[in-house]
Structure 1
């Protein structure tokens, strides 16, 4: 169960099998980002040779392709896969996982500093009582057990005030241990991509063929790094603000949106980089499907193609008065009443509908969001969630008036590029 990937396995594999492993891993990572239910895949069995080879090969591809967009998607997908695996471990499996990591750490030379804190954490997780406690219905605020580390080893937790500081040391409660291990996994992955020298592999035709296939799959040409393709919207939606993520999920589930919400969502996609040709492909794919459930919109692409084509081209300033429309701000979205898709989730949704959109939001942040909702500070609530997710520091009072879903998206994607 060495799915922390500290060291690669050694051995030989035929080139055609390596191709299959990489292809299967890419497909599986896409399902992870799309939050689809996990399916068995023999090439991604936790801790297997195929799992290890696939991970490290994609690390190499990420380095060689020199494309931040792909590296960003790869890191996010691997991080989500790690979280999913970590959450499903039983107490016995968690102890086995920690013991395996400790054995690898002891055998590894010239390990980075952050591995010291991983070692301290694993030394606690191998204890039977501790592992059983962690794998029960464990809360983020639980502090029955704790570890003590220098504050520099957990700066993200310190920045979010999720740990106590004493004389330069951070006390990390057990309720934050899985979160902390996930942070260490991300740090390890980013270090591999940043500092591994793979220059010699540029002359390996097998690796370069894999690189070509990945570039073709993800359209990673240098002149298209800021273009949003129709086929990439599902993956990119992980960076959408809750209001646009809600519209995207509604569209995928029901294959229709009301006219105003389709207009707002189309402009959002346009302003984050979707060309008009891709917009046509995107909406054609959805509106060619039969509506799922009762919906006010009775149009379909086959019958109303000319109308939809004109509407899309009109938004891009290619028809009618040639006005190039821009996406709306948060105040406009919050002014919408009686919208079947919900408008601004922070204003219109109750907790049961809002929380699923706020992925990985802590109980503390949720409590602060609810306080802002009660004060009708909906934009501030959205920005608080953004800050807690992407570690950005923004003065909500100064920026909330002109805040937009596009600005949220740019903060989210810029943060990921900075970390890479």
Structure 2
């Protein structure tokens, strides 16, 4: 096994040990995240069984938890850990890592797109002379050795003009090989989080219990320290990065100053999970519900009259009242399966007749060709694919999110919040 984590180990492990492995790794990553020195930890030994299990279990927690702050934390902390490990390798260890990766690649059933440049890089790293060169007084500006890669595998380096590009081929000097290996690690990690289908685990009581404990004990600390805060007076500014379903709710709220109970619940959880603290949420909803409802909305509630009810409801969503359960925003699948008799809520790609108006309102450059493709996907009931296609119209480098698309993940990609600087 290598600490690049191409494949998970197979076997049985006691639940109590699994919980220990995950919590120990999380504590270790928190130290890494804060850029502190770390002590020996038997559960995070490079390439060990515990190291592999802990990494993949945290990926599962990230996918099922659907928490933007935790996802950001995991991406940055795991990348920082990988960088520390790679830059500390001896010549022998670097060659061993490359050989292990090449063996793992040969065993893969589904080969991701980034595997080809990884193979090329590893084939060079197995050469003793080159590995020794990289591990002894090597500088970033060194160009003694180089490899040729298709430009599409080095887009970030091309964009920063850090490499030479000729006829679509990038010449990557050895001074950037370790940096590029770290980039491929991040690509692999993002791909795993965004494209792994975990539907069967959503009903596994062991996984759900572990997820509940981590959410209750660790998510609040991590999300407070790793995400920006969304202020109530900044929602209009960032709403251009909202997915169409949440953008529609935002427009309706601003226009009518009211939402139905279920749609207010969905929208509140979305704002919570993209960084709005409970105090800001109270300010946000107070400002709207102090105004009289307009248009066709016949809501009889008002903040002054029902303040205690609203305060309790908001605090309850944040896990501060009732069962103390911190709720998370709903998935696209949940929204699409909801029975919507009106256009106030729901998935626009499934149920809206005025979809074209909504999409162009947020993205004026939305072309007729794009709208035609979206309507074709809508006709085939491929609503999430249509949403991703729309997202790619202004964020073309986004990953495939079809398995685990949520409104929060859409917002994360649109804001480029999940990018990690190498």
- Place the TM-score, normalised by the shorter chain, in its bin: 0.5 to 0.7
User: 2:416 aligns to what?
Assistant: 415
Aligned to 2:112, the other structure's residue is in SS state coil
CA deviations on 1:280-339 (whole Å, 9 max, x unpaired) are: xxxxxxxxxxxxxxxxxxxxxxxxxxxxxxxxxxxxxxxxxxxxxxxxxxxxxxxxxxxx
Counterparts of 2:278 and 2:202 in 1: how far apart (Å)? 33
**Aligned partners of 2:278, 2:211: CA distance in 1, in Å?**
26
Partner in structure 2 of residue 194 of structure 1: 194
How much is the aligned-residue C-alpha RMSD, in angstroms? 2.6
The match for 2:156 is 156
Q: How does 1:17-416 map to 2 (within 5 A)?
A: 17-219=17-219, 234-235=225-226, 414-416=415-417
C-alpha distance in 2, partners of 1:101/1:411? Answer: 30
Would you say the 8 A contact 2:412–2:418 is kept in 1? no
Distance 2:276 2:205 in 1: 33
TM-score, length-scaled by structure 1? 0.55
CA distance in 1, matches of 2:38, 2:218: 22
CA distance, structure 1, for counterparts of residue 15 and residue 412 of structure 2: 40
CA distance in 1, matches of 2:111, 2:90: 28
Matches of 2:33 and 2:414, distance apart in 1? 15
Q: Distance in 1 between matches of 2:50 and 2:172?
A: 34
Query: What secondary structure does 2:416 align onto?
Result: helix
Per the alignment, in what secondary structure is the counterpart of residue 149 of structure 2? strand
Contact 1:34-1:235 at 8 Å conserved across structures? no
Contact preservation (8 Å) 1:99, 1:126? yes
1:32-78 Cα distance to aligned partner (Å, 9 max, x none) = 01111121000000000100000001101100011111111111110
Q: Distance in 2 between matches of 1:56 and 1:412?
A: 22
Q: Which runs of 4+ in 1 moved over 4 A?
A: 231-237, 272-277, 410-413
Q: How far apart are the structure 2 equivalents of 1:38 and 1:139?
A: 26
Relative contact order, higher structure (CA 8 A, sep 6+): 2
Report if aligned partners of 1:30, 1:235 keep a CA contact under 8 Å in 2: no
Contact 1:8 1:53 in 2 (8 A): yes
| C-alpha deviation, 1:417, in angstroms | 3.6
Task: Call closer, same or farther: CA 1:90–1:413 in 2, change over 3 Å.
Answer: farther
**Mind listing any 5+ residue stretches in structure 2 that lack a counterpart?**
229-274, 281-394, 396-410
Deviation, 1:207, is: 0.5
1:347-386 deviation per Cα after TM superposition (whole angstroms, max 9, x unaligned): xxxxxxxxxxxxxxxxxxxxxxxxxxxxxxxxxxxxxxxx
Structure 1 residues 234 and 64 mapped into 2: Cα distance closer, same or farther (>3 Å)?
closer
Structure 2 distance, partners of 1:143, 1:16, is 50
Change beyond 3 A, Cα 1:413–1:142? farther
Q: What is the match of residue 5 of structure 1?
A: 5
Question: Matched residues in 2 for 1:413 and 1:43: separation?
Answer: 35
Residue 154 (structure 1) shift = 0.8
User: Structure 2 CA distance, aligned partners of 1:33 and 1:158?
Assistant: 28
Q: Give the CA deviation at 1:275.
A: 7.3
Answer yes or no: is the 8 Å Cα contact 1:70–1:218 preserved in 2: no
CA, structure 1 residues 33+418, in 2 after alignment: closer, same or farther (shift >3 Å)?
closer
Contact 1:34 1:234 in 2 (8 A): no
CA-CA distance at 1:413 after TM superposition: 11
Structure 1 alignment gaps of length 5 or more: 221-228, 238-271, 278-391, 393-409
- How far is the alpha carbon of 1:218 from its aligned partner? 3.7
* Aligned equivalents of 2:61, 2:134: Cα separation in 1: 36
**What is the distance in 2 between the residues matched to 1:84 and 1:413?**
29
Q: Matched residues in 2 for 1:29 and 1:413: separation?
A: 26
Distance 2:15 2:224 in 1: 31
Q: 1:113 to 1:413 in 2, by over 3 A?
A: closer
* Count of aligned residue pairs for this structure pair: 245
Q: Hey, what's the Cα distance between the residues in 1 that align with 2:197 and 2:412?
A: 30
3-state SS in 1 of match to 2:154: helix
For the residue of structure 2 that corresponds to 1:416, the secondary structure is coil
Who is 1:290 aligned against? none
